[in-house]
Structure 1
């Protein structure tokens, strides 16, 4: 007998079923596995098959209840009341953000380090030759000489009074937190140096007649001073997140149930268009969710479903221009805010914030 023939006999021997147990192979019937399951439950093959990929999906779709093999053969199995499709409602939402508009304020250590780098750079550069940059007896040269004299020979405008070429120039590093290295000190020094002290006809302008240089806009806006959380020109060095108040009075990210013919990103775009208005120029970053929130279903005492749960998947979006407008929206949103990460933690419900906190930027 050939090897292939012997293999066929072995296979046929294993697959040949007993007359008393038509759904179990001969070895399983010999071990008594069939007798371990009550007559009212599904067969072992059917029970295990229900947890394979296609069968599990079919079980959810058709409403059939998959049954786990019991750990104790004497304990009957209890069927699950309702399928997963019946217990949860799938929703999609958008986490719309406004990125930082300004760089963050430097820490005291960063300020001291940058200040040291500026002074080090001046020590290593060539001497400043005025004849290369200014013509003799011009208003620009006269103005330069006046300002260098006030700085006691220091060429740099914002590094304070020190002699970078002296023998002890390397002993003047500042400590962390020194007021001279603060950003505001250098900012004021540059503004003061930008004032013109000489007129166009080479005459020195009296100090009371000098015109101050217009300072750039402040980092703190009017919205920050008044606490207006609806405006986008607040917390300009932080990321802002759009939250809305739903019909239940809770602050959440905009979301809605996924339609029959919709994908997650299509629902998120519809939520933006219908819920927050079309007055914003927005961009959905990708089609993969960045966070999700689950609300468990509620069951009655007899195990029947009382309230369906929710599984909400959030996509990330950016706003480039415009402002939210909730007027006449069909989703029941009544108010909106643009909040930072810390403000979200104080506004959102703890469980809700716990679900979405990991997708938030540090600043």
Structure 2
């Protein structure tokens, strides 16, 4: 149903686009009344215009009232009753290590293979042209001939072996031969460095003086190894040593303490090293991420002393990796109540710590 609205003047009739008021929305009724008022030639006051715009038809008001106005809440009801928060105590541990100082010992297979490669090189290489390097009838030439006559080859660390003889093919050693041992090769090289004098008079004294003046390499086994000094860093040079401390209860652990304030794991690790081992250590904390994690649950929940409404279920310890480059630990002025310290290898740590502690740290320690 459409209405036709006539103006009071001579103008043409207007077709209104509004529907019947009974079926229209409130906004449509308001627009219709406003349009009728505008088409009247007579003036209208401001108060009347507001009252006309605010009118609602009875059926329109009923339609508006039938709309569902209430919305359902998706938030769960808030429990206003006091509750206890359960949490874990956060701690930081420092795995401070001294890396290996020398290469590891060779296996029997590696020793044999190394000597086999050296002898094969002698078989494949061209003969040594001695007259290109030594002049005739010189002390160097005479010394060279004497040493080659003893070892039967130009190489100095492969034993008595001549690759150009009838037995040149036999370049493999028997089981237990000393020629493949590094200690024997060192002694041969040192002996070969002695220069024999030209004169026969006083030859033995000159050779003995040179032998005493030889600079020998440092031993692979130190005095700390022989005395089993576990506080010394000069032991087990082939292995990685880790700093372990003895706490107030007598248990051996890595230096560990509770995280305080807003400090990060890296900052906590640096603080723990200073408070436990003192300032006489040149250390470096590697990275900002932990290398291991350990969790220990209390048999009985404990209430915290500084936080109200928080009950601790246990401890969670995050271990940070560190390196010591110089210095030594000193527990005289430590702030963590530590009694003693040791530098131990991985298999020694297993014997020193508790079983449950070892189960949490063994997988983050390398075998060497």
- SS of the equivalent of 2:348 reads helix
Change (3 A) 1:297 1:147: same
Give yes or no for contact 2:281–2:329 (8 Å, CA) kept in 1: yes
Match of residue 92 from structure 1: 92
**What is the aligned partner in structure 2 of residue 338 from structure 1?**
343
| 1:195 alignment partner in structure 2 | 194
User: 1:231: which partner in 2?
Assistant: 232
Tell me the CA shift for residue 255 of structure 1: 1.1
1:356 aligns with 361
Moved more, 112-121 or 170-179: 170-179
Indicate conservation of the 8 Å contact 2:277/2:334, yes or no: yes
Corresponding residue SS for 1:296: strand
Unmatched segments (≥5 aa) in structure 1? 1-16, 25-44, 51-58, 66-81
Paired residues of 1:92 and 1:258 also in contact (CA < 8 A): yes
Looking at structure 2, the residues matched to 354 and 138 of structure 1 have their Cα atoms a distance apart, in angstroms, of 69
Q: Does 1:103 pair with 2:99?
A: no
1:1-363 to 2 correspondences below 5 Å: 46=76, 82-85=84-87, 88-151=88-151, 153-175=152-174, 177-198=176-197, 202-204=198-200, 206-207=203-204, 209-211=206-208, 212=211, 213-299=214-300, 308-363=313-368
- Report deviation, 1:208: 5.3
| Aligned-partner Cα distance in 2 for 1:92–1:110 | 42
Distance in 2 separating the partners of 1:231 and 1:350: 25
Question: 1:298, 1:306 within 8 Å by CA — same for their partners in 2?
Answer: no
So what's the TM-score if we normalise by structure 1? 0.73
User: Is residue 96–residue 242 contact of structure 2 (8 Å, CA) maintained in 1?
Assistant: yes
TM-score, normalised on structure 2?
Answer: 0.72
Deviation by residue 1:292-328 (Cα, 9 ceiling, x = unmatched): 221102327xxx9987511111100111111111111
**Equivalent in the alignment of 2:28:** none
Consecutive unaligned residues of structure 2, counting only runs of 5 or more, are 1-67, 302-308
User: Which runs of structure 1 show a deviation greater than 4 angstroms over 4 or more consecutive aligned residues?
Assistant: 62-65, 304-308
- Contact 2:86/2:311 (CA < 8 Å) preserved in 1? no
Aligned length, in residue pairs = 291
Q: Following the alignment from structure 1 to structure 2, what is the Cα–Cα distance between the partners of residues 270 and 63?
A: 40
Whose radius of gyration is greater, 1 or 2? 2
* C-alpha RMSD of matched pairs (Å): 3.0
Contact 1:246 1:334 in 2 (8 A): yes
Quote the offset at 1:155 in angstroms: 1.4
Indicate if the aligned counterparts of 1:109 and 1:177 stay in contact, CA closer than 8 A.
Answer: no
